[in-house]
Structure 1
Amino acid sequence: MLDLSTLYQVTDVKSRSISAENFTGEPGKGGMCPLEQGVSGSEARDLGLGWKVNPFIFLEPKSTFEIANIDGPGIIRHIWLTPQNRWRDTILRIYWDGQENPSVECPIGDFFCMGWNEYFQINSLAVCVNPGCAFNCYWQMPFRSNCRMTLENLSNKRDVIFYQIDYTLQSLPEEIAYFHAQFRRVNPLPYKEVYTIVDGIEGKGQYVGTYMAWGVNNNQWWGEGEIKFYMDGDTDYPTICGTGTEDYFCGSYDFEDPFTHDRYVPYSTPYAGLQVVTPDKLYRSQFRFGMYRWHIPDPIHFENSLRVTIQALGWRSEGRYLPLQDDIASVAYWYQTLPTVKFPPLPDRDYLEVI
């Protein structure tokens, strides 16, 4: 892959891009929509063909729109989207190489680390969220024969979607792993149960990231729980065991201000971040947090299976842990060999909804 030190090299890679102005990504076919067929044909009527005639799509209620169908080999390099409806009402699915089951199935907001339907800027290597609601993904997604992406509108309201999918057509190594992302939500988490971020992964690959939208239902600190990675035949005990929720997301000591000790401190870095969504008064019930952790320099490799869990732990009287009953949602990101095991069914629209 090119970086600043190799940009001068000549390659056989072909750059392509799909948007509402070029649904197929074919060379020399962008901006060709006739005025009478374009969503902005009226606005361009004085200028004519080629003048921003069809810059977005209408995603109709209770419908699915195929935003990409690309023959490979190639690599998805960048996805940019600007949904306008409630972000959990739009479901992104990605299918690799003709598979029946999607390898990515996720509400659009959570996929881009915006699980609470509120804008907060993110500056990371894998995901950037910029004003006003620009969702950007830079996960590299190789495919051998075909990539198909769809957006499903669960709502009763038409959505307006601006989007662009940038990709390259090129040769690939003999062995590749395919990008995956799976969403889950439990609200509330049953008492003394451990939250499962992902399980049932079968194949060889590497785990590369976690996003969590965590709604706290108790006072006091809520992040004592450990994350655990059960891999390659682990049963009761994991191979990798964290020391606390904030520790896993590369923070420490309750994410609190180390000087005033009276508020949470949000941060956004290339590999980890915390977005505080509700008023920043420390240790209050009904706080909502968004947290991401990218294992880009430190992927977690597995040979044939993987399960990832996290405990929800706070504090109760007499210095004892309190198993929490919080509203927790997550997205697991990983690469693996095909085929993809069928994901658990997504919750229905009412269960997904953020109130």
Structure 2
Amino acid sequence: MRTKIKTRRMDGFWRALFLTRLLMLGAGSCAAPALMAAEQPLYEMQKEAESEVIWTRTTIPANGKVDLADLSGEGVISSLWCTFDVKVREKYNYLGRAIVINMYWDDAEKPAVSVPLADFFGQPLQVQGTDNALFNSSNGWGLFNSLIPMPFRSSARIELVNDSDIRCIFYYQVNVNYKKLSDDALYLHAYWSRQTGVGFRDQFTVLPEVQGQGRYLGTTWGIIQDDVQKRWPWYVRPVKIDFDDKKNSTKPDGSSIEVGTLDDYLGSGWWSSEATPGSYSFPYTGRSYVSVDDQNRLSVVCYRYYIIDPLWFHKKISMQIGPHLSKKIKERSSDWSTTAYFYLNKPENNLPAIQDTTIRTLGF
């Protein structure tokens, strides 16, 4: 007897990824039959598909640019791995912000993805070892790996733009599956923004309004809070997501999604009660980096990805953080940088261009 598992627009890759992660997390034998039952099993030949693996090195010129891939045809970039030469190790964090990764789909003039290199791969403040459903790195030696599927219908181009005076060697691998896409296949987009001097009464825009149909894939945050003290009051800010003019049934005058505090939104809670706040990494949500320096400045990296709980939009979507909920807390500034990942039904979006190098690299 066959059991059919219904998922809303969840293709074989995402289903296999989810079930594979269950296995990695110790789900045991219960996950194995489900993995074999996924669409397009690992052992099933896809007669019209072709594979290409680009694994090479290039030189990124100072104040120049280079293409990592320039593809023609129809298919999906299934993974992207890259790393800096160790000779520039002391500059990893700076280069991670000074170098921008741009991705163009189907000969579009505007990049759908335009994000600082390290930020795109979920390492916005500190090049580090990390592991979650979308990105992983085995150590802090400037390694980046993305598992996000990136469909294209006629062409794909991945470009690095180096806005620094540092010339460096760069190794990379691009895995491509050329195949026919479904009519509903969406294009990957990503938007990055940084705002320094954010006060407790300020609201930070993670994603300006995007128009079109698609799926919000998730967010990575890099936050630096001055004078953090013993407790973590910086995170007591609501998370608000608006899409398709929908209203929250419990707060009909508010946003489509409104979560009281950032730690609740990330699937955690009561951060301020932790004796020694530390990092944690789950497949879809986490606090992957935590550090407090000798000047009592907190640096924290967080992420929340919508994979097993998809967030679809059919007209538009936007996302904001804040302002702070408490009226009694002492005013202190913070520095927010965020990357918003989403799929869209067109290869270009209506978002602003990435901020300039001075803003991106301040303090790095």
Q: TM-score, normalised by structure 2?
A: 0.80
Residue among 82, 97, 106 paired with 1:88: 97
| 1:9 and 2:18 correspond | no
Contact map agreement 2:83 2:144 (CA 8 A) in 1: yes
Q: How does 1:30-109 map to 2 (within 5 A)?
A: 56-83=57-84, 84=88, 85=92, 86-109=95-118
Aligned residue number for residue 344 of structure 1: 352
Contact map agreement 1:277 1:290 (CA 8 A) in 2: yes
Aligned residue number for residue 353 of structure 1: 361
Contact map agreement 1:77 1:140 (CA 8 A) in 2: yes
Aligned residue number for residue 230 of structure 1: 242
Contact map agreement 1:312 1:324 (CA 8 A) in 2: no
Aligned residue number for residue 31 of structure 2: none
Contact map agreement 2:245 2:256 (CA 8 A) in 1: no
The superposition leaves residues 102-131 of structure 1 with CA deviations (integer Å, 9 ceiling, x where unpaired) of 110000111111111x23321111111222
Aligned residue number for residue 216 of structure 2: 207
CA distance in 1, matches of 2:208, 2:221: 16
AA aligned opposite 1:212: W
Contact map agreement 1:263 1:280 (CA 8 A) in 2: no
Residue among 310, 331, 335 paired with 2:339: 331
Residue among 298, 304, 308 paired with 1:297: 308
Contact map agreement 2:214 2:345 (CA 8 A) in 1: yes
AA aligned opposite 1:245: L
User: Unaligned stretches of 5+ in structure 2?
Assistant: 1-11, 17-34, 248-252
CA distance in 1, matches of 2:137, 2:330: 34
CA distance in 2, matches of 1:311, 1:244: 9
The superposition leaves residues 74-124 of structure 1 with CA deviations (integer Å, 9 ceiling, x where unpaired) of 0010000113542101100001111111110000111111111x2332111
| 1:278 and 2:291 correspond | yes
> What secondary structure does 2:291 align onto?
coil
- Let me know the Cα RMSD of the aligned residues: 2.2
- Greater helix share, 1 or 2? 2
Residue among 246, 264, 270 paired with 1:253: 270
Q: How does 1:38-187 map to 2 (within 5 A)?
A: 56-83=57-84, 84=88, 85=92, 86-116=95-125, 118-131=126-139, 132-187=141-196
CA distance in 1, matches of 2:65, 2:154: 23
CA distance in 1, matches of 2:331, 2:257: 21
> What secondary structure does 1:332 align onto?
strand
Q: Tell me the CA shift for residue 174 of structure 1.
A: 1.6
Contact map agreement 2:223 2:300 (CA 8 A) in 1: yes
> What secondary structure does 2:283 align onto?
coil
With 220-229 and 160-169 compared, the bigger mean Cα shift is at 220-229
User: Unaligned stretches of 5+ in structure 1?
Assistant: 21-55
Q: Tell me the CA shift for residue 326 of structure 1.
A: 1.0
The number of aligned residues is 310
Flag the 1:167–1:340 CA change in 2: closer, same or farther, 3 A: same
| 1:18 and 2:27 correspond | no
Contact map agreement 2:279 2:290 (CA 8 A) in 1: no
| 1:268 and 2:281 correspond | yes
Contact map agreement 1:112 1:129 (CA 8 A) in 2: no
With 169-178 and 226-235 compared, the bigger mean Cα shift is at 226-235
Q: TM-score, normalised by structure 1?
A: 0.82
AA aligned opposite 2:320: T
Identity %: 25
CA distance in 2, matches of 1:237, 1:271: 26
